[in-house]
């Protein structure tokens, strides 16, 4: 595969932002729903697939705009850090915020990939379901491949969006100045307090 269209690096960077517990949540729950759908023989119809195509398209555009927002937030953070450094001050939570911004790049990019694959899978599945007399191969691919894939990607994309929303909220609500106030009020304490403050940027 051409390096210009390879997304392996994006996926690897996304997986690095997740711990074992996150892996279980983000990939275990979709698999459980896939198994339940297969056991109950739940199959998506063309009308639902059409809605999912719209869902994937809308959130792809939304997530692309979020990448611009993340870039803007990183630029502002760097500018504020330069200002504080000129006054011989160290910006609180700077490393954690920079790390979180970098992780968000990977999380959003991975979610865009999932949304794009979801749209493509829905389009292919919708086409297979459009035949009046589908072949055995079409039935097999629809039931055992594309239908589970759509359920898996839909759940995974939804979970990723919740995570991104939570992290965006943290970036926009937790200000570096809050860390400075906390740091000044706890100068007599040990360094563990600073670590606790930074853990809020999860």
Q: Between 58 and 177, where is the model more confident? A: 58
Integer Cα distance of 55 and 50 in angstroms? 9
Mean of per-residue pLDDT scores for the chain:
81
CB 114 within 8 A of CB 160: yes
This prediction has a pTM of 0.80
pLDDT at site 100: 85
Integer Cα distance of 89 and 83 in angstroms? 9
Quick check: 185 pLDDT over 60? no
With cut-offs at 50, 70 and 90, classify the pLDDT of residue 67: confident
Q: Between 90 and 11, where is the model more confident? A: 11
With cut-offs at 50, 70 and 90, classify the pLDDT of residue 92: low
Quick check: 17 pLDDT over 60? yes
Integer Cα distance of 64 and 58 in angstroms? 10
Tell me the CA distances in angstroms from 85 to 89, 90, 100, 171, one per residue in order. Answer: 5, 6, 21, 21
Q: Between 53 and 82, where is the model more confident? A: 53
Quick check: 103 pLDDT over 50? yes
pLDDT at site 48: 92
């Amino acid at each position: 595969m051409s390096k210009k269209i390879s997304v392996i690096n994006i996926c690897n960077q996304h997986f690095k932002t997740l711990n074992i517990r996150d892996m279980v949540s983000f990939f275990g729950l979709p698999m459980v729903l896939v198994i339940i759908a297969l056991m109950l023989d739940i199959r998506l119809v063309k009308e639902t697939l059409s809605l999912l195509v719209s869902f994937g398209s809308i959130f792809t555009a939304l997530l692309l705009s979020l990448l611009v927002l993340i870039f803007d937030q990183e630029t502002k953070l760097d500018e504020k850090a330069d200002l504080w450094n000129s006054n011989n001050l160290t910006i609180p939570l700077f490393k954690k915020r920079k790390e979180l911004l970098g992780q968000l790049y990977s999380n959003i990019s991975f979610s865009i990939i999932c949304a794009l694959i979801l749209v493509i899978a829905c389009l292919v599945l919708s086409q297979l379901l459009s035949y009046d007399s589908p072949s055995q191969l079409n039935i097999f691919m629809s039931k055992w491949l594309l239908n589970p894939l759509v359920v898996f990607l839909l759940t995974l994309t939804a979970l990723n969006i919740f995570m991104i929303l939570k992290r965006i909220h943290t970036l926009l609500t937790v200000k570096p100045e809050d860390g400075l106030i906390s740091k000044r009020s706890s100068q007599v304490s040990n360094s563990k307090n600073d670590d606790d403050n930074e853990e809020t940027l999860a």
